[in-house]
Amino acid sequence: MNIETLLRELSFKAVRSSGPGGQHVNKTASKVELIFNIRTSNALSEQEKERLATLLGSRITEGGDIVMSCGETRSQHRNKAIVIERLIEWIQQGLKKKKTRKKTKPSRSAIEKRLLSKKKTALKKASRKKPPIE
């Protein structure tokens, strides 16, 4: 994945945001929508595109676009930076390969310790019982 190429392929749209800001909210378009098309991207290889399509399937439109938005702050520039960070983080997490789990066995001493503690508690509880009446 080439981040510089990816940043050039992003398209942005500024929209009016809701939330705090008073009259300022009604006058300025501070919310930023980011649109990134996975299918036509030159920043990703074909294998990376397929992997992202399967992992982020519910977030991708029929046209192959990922649409993200951010209206957290009153600044359009800050919202743009936040949404770019999120997209890059998503893509990097989607491209990470999970480590395969290696099966391990508990050591002999660990097994013995566990059995000893079980015997101790069993004896402790057995000693609390009333003796049988004959």
Delineate the domains of the chain, giving CATH numbers in brackets. 3-95 (3.30.160.20)
Q: What is the largest CA-CA distance in the chain?
A: 93
| Backbone torsion region of residue 29, taken as left when φ is above 0, otherwise alpha when ψ lies between -120 and 50, otherwise beta | beta
For every residue of 72-126, DSSP letters joined together read SSS-HHHHHHHHHHHHHHHHHHHHPPPPPPPP----HHHHHHHHHHHHHHHHHHH
Residue 21: per-residue pLDDT: 64
Quick one: pLDDT at residue 124? 94
First-to-last C-alpha distance (Å) of the chain: 81
Tokens of 76: 């359009």
Quick one: pLDDT at residue 114? 97
The per-residue pLDDT for 44 is: 85
Cα 57 to chain centroid distance, Å, stands at: 14
In angstroms, the CA 134 to CA 124 distance is 23
3-state secondary structure 9-48: HCEEEEECCCCCCCHHHHHCCCEEEEEEECCCCCCCCHHH
Rounded Cα distance between 42 and 12, Å, is 18
pLDDT of residue 24: 67
Quick check: pTM over 0.85? no
The whole-number mean pLDDT for each consecutive block of 10 residues of the chain, a chain of 134 residues, reads 81 77 71 87 85 81 85 85 90 84 94 97 92 82
